Amino acid sequence: MSQVTLGILTSGGDCAGLNAVIRAATDAAAQRGWRVLGIRRGHLGLLATPPDVIALTADAVRTDLLRAGGTILGSNTKDDPNKTGRAEAVSAALLQLGVTHLMVIGGDGSMRIFDRVLSAANIPWVGVPKTIDNDVPGTEFAVGFFTAVGVVSEALDRLASTAASHSRIMLLEAMGRDSGFLALYGGVAGGADVILLPEFSYDLDAVAAHIKAITHDRPGPVLVVVAEGVARFDNDRRQRGSIGPDIAAELEKRTGFDARSTVLGHVQRGGSPVAFDRLIASTFGVRAVELLADGMSGRMVAWRAGTISDVPLTEVVGGPRFVTADSPLIRTARQLGIYIGDGARPR
Ligand code: F6P
């Protein structure tokens, strides 16, 4: 067989565990005698003159890549080449570089972009899901999610002690875009009393009543987690910018208790991956190379029912996915006495 050249790129918002995928894929490819090219800044590296690529070798990825946060390849979240008329230029650059197979490490948006870009090109490719939002369809977990859950949970641990010292409501705003997975998992792991999600409607009077019930109507420590994508309490629309401080102020008014808010922001995306992210990143990277070696294309590696799997990209590109009322963790949260909201919001 002629020389196989695997191109690897990271696309979309970064998260912990991207480098661990790059490391695993490079090792698995190198064992097969493949050449590996790292494409920098997502598709932008392919549109640069000359193309912005680096050679990846098993030696180069041996050191601290498993542990390192971010992505050594860089990423970007802008300028969908399908919309800027550069889709053909992207596939032409891949062919010019001699890339015979491609691995896209990204969220559902990146999968959609490359599905269109590569539809006319004869380059087999596979996707590896990553995002702290955990909103990629077809997989239960994406790389980076559990590290971010740990950040939310640890932040709640820290807020719990100061909430207790001052008998305050402490509100924490988590990322997640329009999906509530990060707020839900982080909130349950960190012992929240209230978790507000974009997928569920909520009533601030009911939240205030819940807070007063659990504190026996006296100021006491309360932990509230709010997903950044929740609708506003007064017009049911998502607002630009942080909603957390507004909800905290409103809860202060409606309970008469002191409330403070913390917006976690990009802290959730940075830093070293936790063990589970390292494991799925390694497993995903190796499986993606196996799929390509087996002649597969148009698939995404996935984590389902506690093990590695893969799904057709047609299952992925219609994303994002959302928390549903029958999610096991919603049931858990309700039975832990956590206020979750009243019912699914129409989408
Ligand atoms: O999709 C990941 C994510 O961190 C979201 O949770 C968040 O809304 C968004 O990206 C932030 O994007 P940016 O880094 O462009 O501000």
pLDDT at 165: 98
Shared-domain flag, residues 44 and 182? no
Shared-domain flag, residues 175 and 308? no
Using CA atoms, how far residue 126 sits from 158, 257, 270, 288, in Å, is 40, 52, 25, 6
pLDDT at 107: 98
Phi, psi of 327 (to 5 degrees): -60, 135
Shared-domain flag, residues 331 and 189? yes
> Per-residue pLDDT tens for 167-211?
999 999 999 999 999 999 999 999 999 999 999 999 999 999 999
Shared-domain flag, residues 173 and 53? no
pLDDT at 346: 62
Structural domain for 181, as ranges: 147-268+325-344
Shared-domain flag, residues 86 and 123? yes
* In-domain check, residue 289: yes
* In-domain check, residue 61: yes
* In-domain check, residue 38: yes
Shared-domain flag, residues 32 and 94? yes
Report yes or no: 90 and 117 within 8 Å, Cβ to Cβ.
yes
Shared-domain flag, residues 226 and 285? no
* Whether residue 344 has pLDDT greater than 80: no
Q: Is 115 a catalytic residue?
A: no
CA contacts within 13 A on the Cβ side of 182: 35
Residue 60: pLDDT band with limits 50, 70, 90: confident
* In-domain check, residue 320: no
Protein residue with its CA nearest to atom 8 in ligand 1:
177
The one-character DSSP state at 324 is -
* In-domain check, residue 72: yes
Active-site entry in 133, 135, 193, 277: 133
119 vs 102: CA distance, rounded Å: 13
The one-character DSSP state at 126 is E
Which of helix, strand or coil describes residue 121?
coil
58 vs 337: CA distance, rounded Å: 50
The one-character DSSP state at 265 is G
pLDDT at 108: 97
Q: What is the CATH number of the domain that holds 75?
A: 3.40.50.450
Rounded to two decimals, the pTM is 0.97
Shared-domain flag, residues 203 and 338? yes
Q: What is the CATH number of the domain that holds 334?
A: 3.40.50.460
Q: Which residues of 13-47 are buried (b: 16+ CB within 10 A; e: fewer)?
A: bbbbbbbbbbbbbbbbbbeeebbbbbbbbbbbbbb
Q: How many Å lie between the centroid of ligand 1 and the Cα of residue 41?
A: 16
Report yes or no: 229 and 178 within 8 Å, Cβ to Cβ.
yes
Q: Among the atoms of ligand 1, which is closest to the Cα of residue 269?
A: 4
Shared-domain flag, residues 330 and 212? yes
Protein residue with its CA nearest to atom 11 in ligand 1:
13
Q: How many Å lie between the centroid of ligand 1 and the Cα of residue 252?
A: 28
pLDDT at 307: 96
The one-character DSSP state at 237 is S
* Whether residue 62 has pLDDT greater than 90: no
* Whether residue 342 has pLDDT greater than 80: no
Shared-domain flag, residues 293 and 213? no
52 vs 49: CA distance, rounded Å: 7
Q: How many Å lie between the centroid of ligand 1 and the Cα of residue 108?
A: 13
Q: Which residues of 195-220 are buried (b: 16+ CB within 10 A; e: fewer)?
A: bbbbbbbbebeebbebbbeebeeebb
Q: Name the domain count of the chain.
A: 2
249 vs 245: CA distance, rounded Å: 6
Shared-domain flag, residues 58 and 137? yes
* In-domain check, residue 164: yes
CA contacts within 13 A on the Cβ side of 33: 3
Shared-domain flag, residues 95 and 226? no
